[in-house]
Structure 1
Amino acid sequence: EGWTDIVLLEKHELTSGSTWHAAGQITQSTSSLALGKCVDYNIQLYNGGLEAETGQSTTWHGCGSFRLAYDEDEMDWLRYTRSVNVALGFNSELVLPSRVREMHPFYNLDGVVGALYTPDDGHVDPSGVTMALSKGARQLGATVIRHCRATDVQQLPSGEWKVCTDHGDIVCEHVVNAAGTYARQVGEWSGINIPTTSMTHHYFVTDNVPEFMELDHELPVIRDDKLVSGYIRMEQKAGLIGIYEKANPNVVWDDHCPWEAENHLFEADYDRIMPWLENALDRMPIFAELGIKRDVHGAISHPPDGNPLIGPAPGVRNYWCCCGTQIGIGWGPGLTRELARWMVHGSADISMRAFDPRRFGPYADKKWQNIKAREDYLLRHEIPFPHFNRLAGRPVKPSPLYERLKAQGAVFEEVYGHERPRWFATGEEAQEDHYSFGRNIVHDRVGEEHAAVRERVGIMDICAFTKVRVSGVNAEELLDGLIANKLPQKVGGICLTHMLNERGRIEMEMTIVKFADDAYYLTCAAFFEQRLLD
């Protein structure tokens, strides 16, 4: 994006964190438009673009992949994902089990009803990609300093940042926390809460597979969310099995990761992952009698909701987060390109709302982070139903009416720590979320609530809103430069408007009430509290 006076600090060697034990996979099987655009950029980068620019190989394996479905809920998920693929222009198709068997004859497809085929998927050598990216950065003017550990980051009275290292200090206008597993403790140096937790993940490489020896092509990756809770693919002429177990996930370094940790792996915990490993061997019977020549059990950084932390840190200027990216190879380059655009131009080219670090508030303490990271790990291979309600670690900030509303049948959702009624169970249905990709009983109940308020009257608990008073002689001038609508002119006047960023794009919607000649009352969604304050 044009900046070249950039320094990257690496305390040991590039890739000596979680990158060196990454499986290196990337898939267009995503139901997120924003991540889909990042994935599209990354595949183009890995599939020749980066090597053409740098001369450094990424060892791209464009083998494609299948995501399997065993029931109608999973098929609905794949249909929805396919619709996102169409919107993004991706090459994908819904296929019958017979098509999977034709392209992957060794996988046990008992019970499979369909699959999403994404032929442009693949995997890379994580080390090769990292070296190519670092070479490309140096070609554009960046400096990479290895074996240089940061020891402190403090903001100076000038607004600049001083980064202290064991090789001396660096003063800079912007600082990016891309410290991976260390992100939380690096943030603490500057009084910034970076909510990430290290979770361990297994994958296994088998001995060479006799059935693979004569193949002249690479089989597609299989993503089996229900039975394997992970992925299975070829690793040269061996097999590779990756598992995200759905019970007893493992947190490590819940206080601080030791600074001396380099290329760190943990002993495999076969007891913890055995049910899913057994399923994987049942699904891929040609692996069943083989030995395991390599087990990889390494730490990966998980934010509370699974989405990376990309963007401005809360409450400070020119401190940026680039961490919590649990799928670094699959998401990394595209997300960091958007971060660079945000830093240089004032906003990204895609919606970064789901990744903005300011979506979490002071309530996100270390205990809560660990609870939510465990939950996220367990949900890694579950169906991401629309409006899925994550329940762990709640309630955090219930309103004074919480128990009364709950007694009336309220089913709550959490927004920036607040418990907000989503709908009311007033019939015989269970007082809990009912998930599907189509209409269900919740649609009818919400329709009844709408009619009741439209035809009669309703009372609203507005605790779960952000409310800010802006006052002073320059209040009108300040707000007028930030919003798209006209401010109310009379005391008691009200307007609905949007706050814009430097590029004239919408940041948030809000209601503004004029309290006095020099005072305004702003109300917006709770989610935007820290963004509004910043």
Structure 2
Amino acid sequence: MKSKAKVVVVGGGVVGVSALYHLAKKGWSDVVLIERKELTSGSTWHAAGLLPLFNMSYSVGQLHKYAVDLYKKLEEETGQNVGFSVVSNIRLASTKDRMDEYHQYAGVAQTIGVDVKFLTPDQVKEIWPLCRTEDLLGAIQHPEDGYIQPADLTQAMATGARNLGAEIYRNTAVVGMKQTKDGWIVETDKGAIECEHVISCSGNFARQTGKMVGLDIPVIPVEHQYIVTEPHPDIVKRKKDGLPEMGVLRDSDSRWYMREEAGGLILGPYEDGAPACYVDGPSKDSEYELFQEDLDRLAPHIEGAIHRVPAFGEVGVKKVYNGAICYTPDGNPIVGPAWGLKNFWINEGHSFGITAAGGAGWQLAEWIIDGEPTIDMLGVEPRRFGDYATKSYLKEKNEEAYNHVFKVHYPDEEREAARELRTSPCYDRMKALGAVFGQKFGWERPNFFAIDGMEQKDDWSFRRSKWFKAIEQECKNVKENVGLLDMTAFAKCRIKGPGAEEFLDYLVANKLPKKIGRIGLCHALNTKGGVHSEFTIMKEADGSYYLVSAGANQRLDHDWIQKWMPTDGSVQFENLTNSMGVLVVSGPKARELMKRVSRDDFSNENFKWLSAKNIDVGNAPVNAMRVNFVGELGWELHHPIEYQNHIFDRLMEAGKDLGLKPYGIRAMNSLRLEKSYKLVGTELSIEYSPYESGLDRFVHPNKGNFIGLDALNKWREKGFSNQLVTLEVHNIEDADVLGNNPIYDNEKVIGRATGGDFGFRLGKSIALGMVKPEIATPGQKLKIDILGKMYDCTILEESPYDPENNLLRA
């Protein structure tokens, strides 16, 4: 066994072998994989081998597309048959909401180049004659989809990796890992290997692997069962007659998949009550392990399968598989760098591991060798979860993620398991005022406030739902009076020390605020010049800065800061997220409200836009920052969290006759779109340069060096492929842009929407989108797809609401 390597991959399932293969394919031949037993002896061996391209995530969709394309070429490259049956995949729809989901997904697919066909019930019957179709609305089909033999696929990639110089050590257990100055020492029961990088691909053992390096990896497997039947005469006859295989059938509303297998059928339901397993990890001897089947749990889905495919009820059961499949709280895998560790990479939590393995290995190789991924990986980022994701939380959320696999994935869905976990002090007060909460990074945040006659509960849809009127009232009140928004979930930190200014100046593309009390909007680019993070930076004192960023990106942003910080002690990082609360007051009467609750001077002359002052609200100390994300006069009130209820009560009491009312995140989204304000993960992405995202005034290439500057300059010389525009969508009826909607010019896709909503101050349906630069001119007429229907749209000038910012500066 080698004693040194560039990379050690831990785990020999399809995910680990793909990572090894892609590293070798990209030119790093000095890489090794360590597997405790035999290749594929974990979850890979009992996987059904399906390759579903369907995924509502832009990130995951691209990983799946790459993998399916790759698997078709592997036999030619390696000489090994991977057993890829390109039989297509059909997803049935029995409800209008399901068809809306398919139309929204088809938009995502169109923007990443995945072929999706819509089928009528009669067309389904032609392809799947054993399927009952009279109660269907329709279906979608992926012609390039199908299934593969997982063991054959893994062995083919192993052969490909070995042919390129990689080595695989089977029956070798990792017993420990130690970080060194230059990398890692991976200790095994057959010796130690020094390496620069470690990739954890250990599947069911993910939590044990993480424990070796002090990580609580948010993965726990869930039991998944599938049934293999005896042959059916009709299927046997079809094969004998030379008819094509009927393809993979998914009855989403009955929550199961089905495909042919050796003349019979495989049925795989995603049922309620499937338990998490290996909560404390498998035993060290675990290999090719299955659990006792529980057919009672599957009974409703078996009945649904017999209804849809009567032939399924006409054959006996040959075998029931019940094995572990890894899950994360949102069902998407975690692929990328670990937090707090250098050169430790996570490739875990793959509930659709056969499909995602190829894409995950591809992007990890890009990330490790070139320093950055080539596609936006936010949807699978390991740092999208925080330390709130305890073992108990994971058990609840992962079981929920499993039973939601086939449920409709609404854009405004808020799942119920493990809720009311992180709450700001004013949570109960807001609830009493009608708040309907959502969750972000474990925090409860008001999505909206129920109005008179409305039940205090959410209503999910791809279209305008019951909360549309509530959002309208909130937006109009912010425009006419004053609104109160809880943004305690913001990520907050302090960067201080003699080297703080120099470090932050290198971290971000904008100039830092020079005067104490001044505020700047600053963007941290990655090394390839894309936008990684957005920070509001306030200079508190010489050598001390207060940074605020998106709550959902707390671990991502704070880990990014700490990984770039100098190691000489000249800069200190202090996480303030849990100790500081934030309440936002915004609207034309915000100044009058602040005058009533504070002794300080809030006049425009004394308290300018983009400045901050330490004030009192009632008797509580507050750092008031004159900024907001909705484009009205207003202040963010940052305060030690223990004073929040005192501040909240003083504001609500003083604002009674000013029309002060609370508002939520959904109203904020509507308001920010009217100002063309951008969000990280939608309009701001590593796939786009800051210039493409319209951040020109926040980038100062002549200020001195900063992360990504060289790459950004080269990108600019080469030319840009995209330009962010604001669109008005015309003749809308009951559905606005949700994001990832394809944008057309002369029936050709020339871009995609990044987000959208109805703008109540403008009275227009607004979308932001990336289009080709040559057509990004105000007045340009285009078309956009919303839930399968084409709408006219027009490019507007940026910030169509108050373009001169007169209200912000009032």
Calculate the TM-score normalised by the size of structure 1. 0.97
Instruction: Show the counterpart of 1:96.
Output: 120
Tell me the CA shift for residue 406 of structure 1.
0.8
The corresponding residue for 1:153 is: 177
Aligned to 2:110: 86
Shift of 1:289: 2.2
Structure 2: distance between partners of 1:361 and 1:84: 28
Rounded Cα–Cα distance in structure 1 between residues aligned with 2:343 and 2:142: 39
Report the CA distance between 1:159 and its aligned residue. Answer: 4.4
Higher mean C-alpha displacement, 455-464 vs 273-282: 455-464
Which sections of structure 1, spanning at least 5 residues, go unmatched?
Answer: none
* 334-343 vs 63-72, which moves further: 334-343
* Separation of aligned partners in 2, 1:480 and 1:447: 41
Of residues 25, 36, 45, the one that matches 1:20 is: 45
Q: How does 1:493-504 map to 2 (within 5 A)?
A: 493-504=518-529
Q: Identical aligned pairs, as a percentage?
A: 39
Following the alignment from structure 2 to structure 1, what is the Cα–Cα distance between the partners of residues 521 and 119? 47
2:75 paired residue number: 51
Q: How many Å separate the matches in 2 of 1:487 and 1:346?
A: 26
| Partners of 1:180 and 1:323 within 8 A in 2 | yes
Alignment partner of 1:461 out of 479, 482, 486: 486
Equivalent position of 1:218 in the other structure: 245
Tell me, in whole angstroms, the C-alpha distance in 2 between the residues paired with 1:86 and 1:356.
23
8 Å CA contact 2:183–2:194 kept in 1: the answer is yes
1:230 aligned residue: 256
Partner SS, residue 484 of structure 2: coil
SS of 2:76 mapped into structure 1: helix
Pair 1:481-2:524 in alignment: no
The one of 166, 174, 193 equivalent to 2:216 is: 193
CA contact (8 A) 1:515 1:521 kept: yes
**Per-residue deviation at 1:29?**
2.4
Whether contact under 8 Å (1:42, 1:331) holds in the other structure is yes
- For the residue of structure 1 that corresponds to 2:408, the secondary structure is coil
Q: CA–CA distance in 2 between the matches of 1:438 and 1:285?
A: 35
Q: Alpha-carbon deviations, 1:182-224, whole Å to 9, x = none?
A: 0011101111010111211111111111111232211121110
Let me know the Cα RMSD of the aligned residues.
1.3
Matched, 1:533 2:558: yes
What does residue range 126-275 of structure 1 map to in structure 2 within 5 Å?
A: 126-156=150-180, 158-215=181-238, 216=242, 217-227=244-254, 229-245=255-271, 247-275=272-300
CA deviation profile, 1:37-94 (whole Å, cap 9, x unmatched): 22221111122x1111111111110100110110110110111111222222222211
Bigger Cα displacement from structure 2, 338-347 vs 8-17: 338-347
3-state secondary structure, aligned to 2:529:
coil
Which of these residues, 431, 439, 458, is aligned with residue 406 of structure 1? 431
Larger RCO: Structure 1 or Structure 2 (Cα < 8 Å, ≥ 6 residues apart)? 1
1:370 is aligned to 2:411: no
Contact 2:81 / 2:156 at 8 angstroms: preserved in 1? Answer: yes
* Cα distance in 1 for residues equivalent to 2:463 and 2:230: 45
451-460 or 172-181: bigger deviation: 451-460
Q: In the aligned structure 2, how far is the partner of 1:141 from the partner of 1:421?
A: 54
Q: What is the aligned partner in structure 2 of residue 5 from structure 1?
A: 30
Distance 2:332 2:65 in 1: 18
Q: Distance in 1 between matches of 2:531 and 2:464?
A: 30
Superposition pairs of residues 257-296 of structure 1, within 5 angstroms:
257-296=282-321
Q: Where does residue 60 of structure 1 map in the other structure?
A: 84
SS in 1 for 2:455: coil
- Cα contact 2:436–2:449 (8 A) shared by 1: yes
Look up the SS of the partner of 1:354 in the other structure.
Answer: helix
Whole-angstrom CA distance in 2 between matches of 1:409 and 1:501: 41
- Cα distance in 2 between the residues matched to 1:447 and 1:506: 32
Q: Which amino acid aligns with 2:408?
A: I
Matching residue within 531, 534, 543 for 1:506 = 531
CA distance in 2, matches of 1:203, 1:331: 20
Contact 1:315–1:530 (CA<8 Å) still a contact in 2? no
CA contact (8 A) 2:59 2:378 kept: no
Please state whether the residue corresponding to 1:338 is helix, strand or coil: helix
Name the SS for the 1:170 alignment partner: strand
Greater Cα shift, 14-23 or 268-277: 268-277
Separation of aligned partners in 1, 2:163 and 2:336 = 25
Q: Is the 8 A contact 2:90 2:249 kept in 1?
A: yes
- For residue 293 of structure 1, give the secondary structure of its aligned residue in structure 2: strand
Aligned length: 530
The structural deviation recorded for 1:280 is 1.1
Aligned to 2:664: none
Distance in 1 between the 2:208 and 2:85 partners? 36
- What amino acid is the match of 2:245? E
Aligned to 2:422: 397
CA–CA separation in structure 2 for the residues paired with 1:425 and 1:152 = 53
- 1:491 is displaced (CA, Å) by 1.4
Bigger Rg, structure 1 or 2: 2
Mapped partners of 1:394, 1:212: distance in 2: 47
Q: Gaps (5+ residues) in structure 2?
A: 1-25, 560-810
Q: CA deviation at 1:404?
A: 0.5
- Shift in Å at residue 511 of structure 1? 0.5
Is this contact kept in 1: 2:535–2:548, CA < 8 A?
yes
Tell me how far apart the structure 1 counterparts of residues 66 and 340 of structure 2 sit (CA, whole Å): 31
User: 1:420-453, CA deviations, whole angstroms, 9 ceiling, x for partnerless residues?
Assistant: 1111112322212211111123233223212222
Q: Any conservation in 1 of the 2:59–2:380 contact (CA below 8 Å)?
A: no
Q: Which residues in structure 2 correspond to 1:329-478 (within 5 Å)?
A: 329-478=354-503
- Looking at structure 2, the residues matched to 455 and 304 of structure 1 have their Cα atoms a distance apart, in angstroms, of 40
Paired letter, 2:418: G
